[in-house]
Amino acid sequence: MRDATFTLYALMNAGYIDEARAWRDWLLRAAAGDPAKLQILYGVAGERRINEYELDWLPGYAGSKPVRVGNAAHEQFQLDVYGELIDALHQSRRHDLAAGDEWWALGRKVMEFLEGAWDKPDEGIWEVRGPRRHFVHSKVLAWVAFDRAIGAVESFDLPGPIEHWRRVRREIHDEVCREGFHAELNSFTQSYGSTELDAATLLIPLVGFLPADDPRVVGTVERIQRDLTQDGFVMRYAVAEENHIDGLSGGEGAFLPCSFWLVDALSMMGRQREARELFERLLAIRNDLGLLSEEYDPHSKRLLGNFPQAFTHVGLVNSAFNLSAHKASPMRQRAGYADA
């Protein structure tokens, strides 16, 4: 679900309008129902039951245990997917992929639920298998939901309690800037009160929460470049041996979608040379078919994890548009700095 808006832009800007509309329609059919039961993932036919179990007898590629079938994360509470859903609805309207009034009824229901849920801790974008936290990225995407709902009322004359939503939007924004920014690190952190970095905070300017030239954004990008990269490639977060928040032991490779987010953030900040250099380095690690995986090990110089990884390729497509002379880059469209 969280890949929704990224995928929508990759398809729309490449001219695959019918495919973008089909993706949006699938998304809405899968999400229909009680917002409290919205899942972060579904089967390809919209299945809701994706029970997880482990195959103890299977060693996995290169001994990468545990081998899991299914995904227990479908039962997690991940606040950011609500922002992704509302954002995808709003962006599809902006690009004339009309969804019909019945889908705004779903959007209203989602917003009603989110009013009482945005201030709750969750498992976050990385689907941690540990205690829930107040993740900064989750709160930012809750802000996105209210921001886009307000935009739907303002731009498309849809019904909604706009003044109330504006108050909630401001409350979320104030809280994130107060609780999620660490003054000594000069960076947004992974969760409230922590000192841990998180590559998901690179999305703060890309979704329009703060402008790219805001000192807090600049500080976050520079801190991530300094402390959360390996050979220039971006890690999701620092993995400590004694803190297995994923339920997995050991370290991991650089997370390639995050590396494309850094490309976009640098480009948005006007640091085009750095952005293009990193983009070219990412292209250089593709295999002979031009495909990329989920992760990359800069030390052994090999692709790791899920392969091929759609999330990575969607990032590649959007970064290519952001760096090109395209009429309006996805990052600026989504952030609201340019019309479609």
Q: What is the per-residue pLDDT across 180-223, written as a single tens digit (0 to 9) for each?
A: 999 999 999 999 999 999 999 999 999 999 999 999 999 999 99
pLDDT at 255: 92
**Residue with tokens 């809750």, as numbered in its chain:** 142
CA distance 328 to 220: 25
Backbone angles phi, psi at 205, to 5 degrees: -75, -25
Q: 159 and 92 in one domain? A: yes
Check pLDDT > 50 for residue 155: yes
Q: Which of 28-37, 53-62, 156-165 has the lowest mean pLDDT?
A: 28-37
Which of 150, 179, 208 is the endpoint of a domain?
179
Structure tokens at 130: 């540990």
- What's at 95, amino acid-wise? H
User: Please, which pLDDT band fits residue 46 given cuts at 50, 70 and 90?
Assistant: confident
pLDDT at 62: 76
Q: Which domain holds residue 152?
A: 1-40+76-179
- Average pLDDT, whole number, for the chain? 86
DSSP per residue, 102-152: HHHHHHHHHHHHHHTTTTS-B-TTTT-SS--B-BHHHHHHHHHHHHHHHHH
User: Please, which pLDDT band fits residue 7 given cuts at 50, 70 and 90?
Assistant: confident
Which of 179, 203, 218 is the endpoint of a domain?
179
Q: 133 and 234 in one domain? A: no
- What are 268-297's pLDDT values in tens digits? 999 999 999 999 999 999 999 999 999 999
pLDDT at 240: 55
**Residue with tokens 């479908």, as numbered in its chain:** 74
Q: 101 and 28 in one domain? A: yes
- What are 65-83's pLDDT values in tens digits? 788 887 766 667 778 888 9
For the chain, what is the domain count?
2
pLDDT at 74: 63
SS3 38: coil
| 315 lies in some domain | yes
Instruction: Give the torsion through C-alpha atoms of 314, 320, 325, 326, to 10 deg.
Output: -10
pLDDT at 328: 62
Q: Which of 100-114, 133-147, 208-222 has the lowest mean pLDDT?
A: 100-114
Q: 196 and 157 in one domain? A: no
CATH number for the domain spanning 222: value is: 1.50.10.10
Q: 219 and 147 in one domain? A: no
pLDDT at 340: 33
CA distance 170 to 150: 12
pLDDT at 239: 62
β-strand pairing of 181-182 with 68-69? unpaired
| 65 lies in some domain | no
Q: What percent of the chain has pLDDT over 70?
A: 91
**Residue with tokens 């969607």, as numbered in its chain:** 314
pLDDT at 38: 76
Cα diameter, the chain: 58
| 71 lies in some domain | no
| 56 lies in some domain | no
CA distance 155 to 142: 20
| 240 lies in some domain | yes
Nearest to 110 by CA among 29, 38, 207: 38
The continuous run of DSSP H or E covering 54 comes out as strand 53-54
- What are 297-320's pLDDT values in tens digits? 998 899 988 889 989 999 999 999
Check pLDDT > 60 for residue 337: no
Verdict on whether the full-model pTM lies above 0.85: yes
